[in-house]
Amino acid sequence: MDKNNPAVEVIPGLYLSSFPDEIDKKYTHVLNMCMTPHEDSSRASPRQEILHIQLLDWDDITPYIQLILQFIDTALQHPQNRVLVHCALGINRSAAAVTAYLCHQNKSNSRAALEYLKSRKPDVQPSVMFLQQIDRYFGYGDTFGIDPMGALHEPSTADSSSPLHPVELPVDITRHVSFGERADPVFKKVAIATHKYVYVLDSYKLIGRLRKRKKRIVVDINGG
> How far apart, in whole angstroms, are the C-alpha atoms of residue 81 and residue 48?
10
CB of 84 closer than 8 Å to CB of 18: no
User: What's residue 21's pLDDT?
Assistant: 86
User: What's residue 203's pLDDT?
Assistant: 33
User: What's residue 23's pLDDT?
Assistant: 86
User: What's residue 42's pLDDT?
Assistant: 52
Alpha helices in the chain (DSSP H): 62-76, 93-106, 110-120, 128-137, 171-174
pLDDT in tens, 86-115: 999 999 999 999 999 999 999 999 999 999
pLDDT less than 70: residues of the chain = 1-5, 40-46, 142-224
Query: Could you state, in order of their start, the residue ranges of all structural domains in the chain?
Result: 8-152, 171-205
User: What's residue 221's pLDDT?
Assistant: 36
> How far apart, in whole angstroms, are the C-alpha atoms of residue 202 and residue 116?
31
User: What's residue 145's pLDDT?
Assistant: 60
pLDDT in tens, 9-36: 999 999 999 999 888 989 999 999 999 8
Own/partner long-range contacts of 152-156 (Cβ < 8 Å, ≥24 apart): 152/58, 153/60, 153/62, 154/60, 156/60, 156/62, 156/63
Domain 8-152: give its CATH code. Answer: 3.90.190.10
pTM for the full predicted model: 0.65
User: What's residue 38's pLDDT?
Assistant: 80
Q: Phi first, then psi: what are they for 178, rounded to 5°?
A: -125, 135
CB of 90 closer than 8 Å to CB of 188: no
User: What's residue 164's pLDDT?
Assistant: 38
> How far apart, in whole angstroms, are the C-alpha atoms of residue 99 and residue 94?
9
Nearest to 8 by CA among 111, 105, 110, 123: 123
User: Coil, helix or strand for 37?
Assistant: coil
User: What does the mean pLDDT of the chain come to?
Assistant: 72
